[in-house]
Amino acid sequence: MDYYMCLMCGYIYDPEIGDPTQSIALGTSFENVPEDWVCPLCYVDKTEFERVDGI
């Protein structure tokens, strides 16, 4: 699975963890995260994330 980083604050979305603060289940790929999801740290939307390698 791919990791995605918030371009505003550096938060890393890890699909193995999901986002329990917004009821995103463990194992949810970034592509399957709802479009209205926001960064749990700085609250920007999903479009402000970029795929990263080597985490």
Q: List the CATH number of the domain containing 24.
A: 2.20.28.10
In this structure, is the dihedral angle defined by the CA atoms of residues 29, 53, 51 and 49, taken in order, positive or negative?
Answer: positive
Q: How many domains is the chain built from?
A: 1
**Is 29 in contact with 4 (CB distance < 8 Å)?**
no
10-47 pLDDT tens trace: 999 999 999 999 999 999 999 999 999 999 999 999 99
Query: What is residue 19's predicted lDDT score, i.e. its pLDDT?
Result: 98
Domain, as residue range, for 18: 3-52
Spatial separation of the C-alpha atoms in residues 9 and 16, rounded to whole Å: 20
**Is 27 in contact with 18 (CB distance < 8 Å)?**
yes
Collapse the DSSP code of 8 into the 3-class scheme (helix H, G, I; strand E, B; otherwise coil) and give the result.
Answer: coil
